Structure 1
Amino acid sequence: MEIDRILCDEPLQEILRRIPLRSTFAANVSLVSKRWLRLYRSSKSFLQLRLSPDNCKPPSLSSFLSQFPCLFYLLVTVVAGGNDVSNFPDQILLSVASSCPKLKTLHLFSDPVSLFPLISLSTSCPQLNSLYIAQARPFSFHWLVFLHSLKYITIVFTPVPGEVEQVDALQRNFDAALKLGTLVLDGIQHCDFGFDSLWKSCKNLKTLKLYRCNGIGDDTSASSFVDCFNGLQEVELKWCGSIVNDILMRLVENCTSLNSLVIYHEGGGVDLYHFIAQSRCDLRKLDLFLPLDLENNHLLALAEKFRGLSSLRLDSCFLVNGEGLKTMALTMSSKLEELALRNCEVEVLEPGLLATFGQRFRNLRKLDLSYNETLVDKEFISMLALCNCLRELLVRGCEGLTNAALVSMFKSCKQLETVDIMNCPGFGAEAVELFVLNCLQLRVIFVEESKVSDVSKSWCSKKLVAVLNV
């Protein structure tokens, strides 16, 4: 090949580095020659692997990873195989530690890893700043001390049936000032050991996310939990049962810097009103899934207390009515930029409600009305006529909308970049084609493949619009 003889390694490597990850050319680079394969791998910074004990052995994985000296981002998903090896995730982690010294991001979706590979990783990958792993009981976090660059970590705690919680005191306790900015923990149980030192060491935390947690650790952890609240800006609590009220109370008493709060809770009993009334923070973003707890009085209190909200997301708010939503809209600041009313049956709640939102919130950039099955064209179109700053619009699952609503989208909203019209049977292929042709700023559209004609595909290709059907 002529180009192969003309180009030396450096310019060819630079060209390969600039190839988009999902391009057809990138998929065929490795087939050109062994030289191109070597240079392509040596220039690659991102790698995604699916491994199983059947198709991967530690020595071969180490050898393979060593061919990617510039690898910064590695995502590994472990799938089950016939040869089930319980320590397979540990072997992967050891291979990564020995072969990827420049790694900055590692996401390992697998069964739990044990302590020794984590220590090896912490000493061998000094530039690691983002980590996702699963860890089994008993817990130990002292290995975090050696990851001096770590800023983001997600740990999924996996229960082991019948295991007795016992942790060596020397491993459990450590004194450090971790640089963690984001901490995501999934699956903490009441009386889990090892969290006392972790909470005390997270003095620089900006974001705390707890998923499926029924506790914050053993009794010694309760008093130290608030040590990480100073400077905390974002809190996310999803499916955390009875500890939600306790955490909200602690936020009221110990945190004034909070600007974003997310609560997903189905069981009922969340004392949100107390948090709203007593909080000293200035919330900017609020995202609530509280089917059994959110009522009209909460909405009115929110609008009165947090007048600076820029993002409000409500999902499945079955206990509020149209009057409460309308009063909230009239009370809130007009600075709102994101509004989500998912599965709220806005048409049933109050005729004219969306028009009120449109009149009040002229600065909306993102609107999500997904899964409002009774939403009809008239209400929707009346709001769009007033929201000409929208850049992202989601109406997935709105079965009552028709082609007229789709036409109004590009006529009223000239700045639309992202649109989700999946599962909307009233939108036909011809209307989708018209939308793609006339929505000049469009960059991403979620729509069924059956509704994308050849003409639509051609225009999306020319305009570099991504068509997704997930």
Structure 2
Amino acid sequence: MPALVNYGGNDDVRAGGLFFSKLTDPSLFLSVASNLNAYCPPRKRSRVAAPFFLDLEEMASAKDEPKPCSIDVLPDECLFEILRRLPGGQERSTAASVSKRWLTILSGIPAAEIPKKKKLPDLNGDVTKEEVEEDESDGQLTRTLESKEATDIRLAAVTIGAGARGGLGKLVIQGSHPTRGVTDLGLSAVARTCPSLRVLSLWDVPLITDAGLFEIASGCPMLEKLDLARCPLISDKGLTAVAQKCPNLMSLTLESCSGVGNEGLQAIGRGCPQLKSLAIKNCPLVGDQGVSSIVSSASASLAKIKLQGLNITDVSLAVVGYYGKAVTDLVLTGLQNIGERGFWVMANALGLLKVKCVTITSCRGVTDLGLASIAKCCPSLKQLCLRRCCYLSDVGLKAFVETAKALENLQLEECNRITLDGVLGGLLNCNRELKTLALVKCMGIKDVSSWTAPLPSCISLRSLTIRECPGFTSASLAVVAKICPQLENIDLSGLTGVTDQGLLPLIESSQGLVKVNLSDCVNLTDTSIATMVKAHGSNLKVLNLDGCKKVTDKSLLAVAENCSVIDELDLSRCMVSDYGVAVLASARQLNLHVLSLAGCSKVTQKSLPFLANLGQSLIGLNLQFCNLISTCGIGSLEEKLWWCDVLS
């Protein structure tokens, strides 16, 4: 025993000895403890009493130096694998806000590589819950980016955020940032993260090329509607990609796309059998071959066709007339190379049996013969709108109105060879279905000096518009009053020649006026307005007297006493005053929703309390150019009518 106690050597157990130092090694304690059976009471950790010094300058410098996040040290490939395993859309959206790098990586993760739901068994072995969030393929969200906010980064953020809320179904990009506009990179993010996209509209996005459209076609096979306007770098290759990979496409709109031609339209015709709507405007490379191919290929489904500013000839209209068996709406505008023969052949091809609405603008080929053929060969036609058809005369109009047995709506604008004699002649033998007649800026509409034939009676006509026809005066309006006794809506705006003498017969002959527009009829006075309000106040819902400078508070008094269902009242630039506004506000039966007093020079600050009382039902109030009302007064009124949209 003494020998053991006095033992000394290299493994001395005294403090400072080698064996002592080994025993103090924590790792050794862990390994030895498992082999000891002896009881050792717990000991307190020894307090370090050795003095220490702090280098304050070093600590300050260390504090100022940014410590890089350890995960950002990883390469993009590793971050890709990490971020694609995030459990849900909300988590991905949150991660995208960390940095631009994370946003870029997340926007490049294809939806197919994101883990889907996995059903997990519970303790009993039954499948009861799901690991991943609900399916994000609904695509119910709509997002719109305009002008400066349209950038690749913003677009990537939108797609990630939409993915967390059910998926993006409709994307509209209108304009682009001047220096950092949307490019193919942004569309790639959409294609990879939004497989449920059904509607894509690109308007004035000059940096998008065929590569971006190819990405959309590859990643969004459910695409149903594609609108491309002023995208000069997109060509037939992009449309071909869409045709090959988006068979569900139902609507295609092309406007001012200088690179798109016949080849792309042919591909759409072959690959998209469900196409229902086609609109092509100002595409110089599109000709007869492209239009004919797509119309003939989609003849079973194509219901709406709009062709504007194209270099097509009579051949295209012949194809439309023959293969347009499903067409219900046809719009033809600015087709300068199509003559009378084209419209005649289109009608006589006997394919447009289902067409209901036809709009033709600035087409020199529309003549009396062509119009008569359309009426004869389109038995379902209900609405016809003709604008700037300079070769159309009274003869063609009469023949058309007499033949079109299903016609309900006829609109003529800037057809200067049409006269009032032709209109009355058409009404003499019109069908009983005609409900709406509109004559706008037709310089040939003038007073009839004598009418020898018996005046027609168009009992079915409910809406009459004669707007900005300077030759139409009170004498002609009195004739119209005898012809149309069942009018409900009248629009005589801009007829400076109409006076009380012409309006009063129309008021007396009408059964119940509902909507009346008399804007800029500067020669009308309180006499006719008050008479109209008293006769039709129980039915009148909309009254527009904008610019009627001879209308005063007397008309407002009649409105307050007789109008019980009026919704909209426009008194802009009239001679009404504070007294008239007070009278209007005192009418308990009024339930006005929209009131306009713009440019009323006699309306002052005194009207504000009355407008506040009137505003319980108002949702729109126009006080623009009321110079006698201060800005402070407008602000106070806005506070009281916080639910109303006040224009000042």
Same fold at TM > 0.5: yes
* CA deviations over 1:267-314 (Å, ceiling 9, x no partner): 31473432321236x322222234244232332122122222211112
Amino acid at match of 1:322: D
> 8 Å contact 2:465–2:492 — kept in the other structure?
yes
Task: Report the alpha carbon displacement of residue 254 of structure 1 after superposing the two structures with TM.
Answer: 1.0
Aligned to 2:562: 360
Matches of 2:382 and 2:272, distance apart in 1: 28
Which stretch has the larger CA shift, 301-310 or 432-441? 432-441
Amino acid at match of 2:201: L
Amino acid at match of 1:187: S
Aligned CA distance change for structure 1 residues 95 and 429 (closer, same or farther; 3 Å): farther
- Normalising to structure 2: TM-score of the pair? 0.55
3-state SS in 1 of match to 2:238: helix
3-state SS in 2 of match to 1:342: coil
3-state SS in 2 of match to 1:263: strand
> 8 Å contact 1:284–1:310 — kept in the other structure?
yes
Aligned to 2:158: 29
Aligned to 2:241: 63
1:309 to 498, 503, 513: 513
Instruction: Name the Cα RMSD after superposition.
Output: 4.3
3-state SS in 2 of match to 1:210: strand
1:335 to 539, 543, 568: 539
> 8 Å contact 1:142–1:173 — kept in the other structure?
no
Aligned length: 432
1:382 pairs with 2:583: yes
Aligned to 1:156: 333
Matches within 5 A, 1:263-342: 263-269=466-472, 271-279=476-484, 282-332=486-536, 334-342=538-546
Amino acid at match of 2:556: L
Aligned CA distance change for structure 1 residues 179 and 172 (closer, same or farther; 3 Å): closer
Matches of 2:347 and 2:431, distance apart in 1: 27
Amino acid at match of 1:40: C
Aligned CA distance change for structure 1 residues 64 and 216 (closer, same or farther; 3 Å): same
Relative contact order (alpha carbons < 8 A, sep ≥ 6): 1 or 2 greater? 1
Aligned to 1:454: none
Amino acid at match of 2:468: H
Task: Report the alpha carbon displacement of residue 73 of structure 1 after superposing the two structures with TM.
Answer: 5.4
Aligned CA distance change for structure 1 residues 18 and 389 (closer, same or farther; 3 Å): same
Task: Report the alpha carbon displacement of residue 336 of structure 1 after superposing the two structures with TM.
Answer: 1.2
Aligned CA distance change for structure 1 residues 19 and 290 (closer, same or farther; 3 Å): closer
Aligned CA distance change for structure 1 residues 264 and 439 (closer, same or farther; 3 Å): same
1:256 pairs with 2:432: yes
Aligned to 2:414: 239
* CA deviations over 1:356-413 (Å, ceiling 9, x no partner): 123222211222334x165444324433543632233344555654565566445314
* CA deviations over 1:229-279 (Å, ceiling 9, x no partner): x34333333333341522344134314331222222333147343232123
1:146 to 320, 323, 343: 323
Which stretch has the larger CA shift, 360-369 or 165-174? 165-174
> 8 Å contact 1:239–1:266 — kept in the other structure?
no
1:13 pairs with 2:105: no
3-state SS in 2 of match to 1:352: helix
Matches of 1:225 and 1:306, distance apart in 2: 23
Gaps of 5+ in 1: 452-470
Aligned CA distance change for structure 1 residues 262 and 412 (closer, same or farther; 3 Å): same
Aligned CA distance change for structure 1 residues 360 and 169 (closer, same or farther; 3 Å): closer
Aligned to 2:183: none
Which stretch has the larger CA shift, 105-114 or 241-250? 105-114
Which stretch has the larger CA shift, 4-13 or 203-212? 4-13
Bigger CA radius of gyration: 2
> 8 Å contact 2:247–2:272 — kept in the other structure?
yes
Amino acid at match of 2:540: L
Matches of 2:277 and 2:607, distance apart in 1: 43
> 8 Å contact 1:337–1:366 — kept in the other structure?
yes
* CA deviations over 1:62-107 (Å, ceiling 9, x no partner): 435877666655554428xxxx78xx67677667656665454555
Aligned CA distance change for structure 1 residues 65 and 307 (closer, same or farther; 3 Å): farther
Matches of 1:10 and 1:275, distance apart in 2: 64
Aligned to 2:282: 110
3-state SS in 2 of match to 1:237: strand
Aligned CA distance change for structure 1 residues 224 and 374 (closer, same or farther; 3 Å): closer
Amino acid at match of 1:388: L
3-state SS in 2 of match to 1:12: coil
Aligned CA distance change for structure 1 residues 276 and 439 (closer, same or farther; 3 Å): same
3-state SS in 1 of match to 2:386: strand
Matches of 1:91 and 1:423, distance apart in 2: 55
Aligned to 1:47: 201
Aligned CA distance change for structure 1 residues 233 and 95 (closer, same or farther; 3 Å): same
Aligned CA distance change for structure 1 residues 48 and 146 (closer, same or farther; 3 Å): farther
Aligned CA distance change for structure 1 residues 333 and 151 (closer, same or farther; 3 Å): farther
Aligned CA distance change for structure 1 residues 145 and 38 (closer, same or farther; 3 Å): farther
Matches of 1:383 and 1:310, distance apart in 2: 20
2:292 to 92, 113, 119: 119
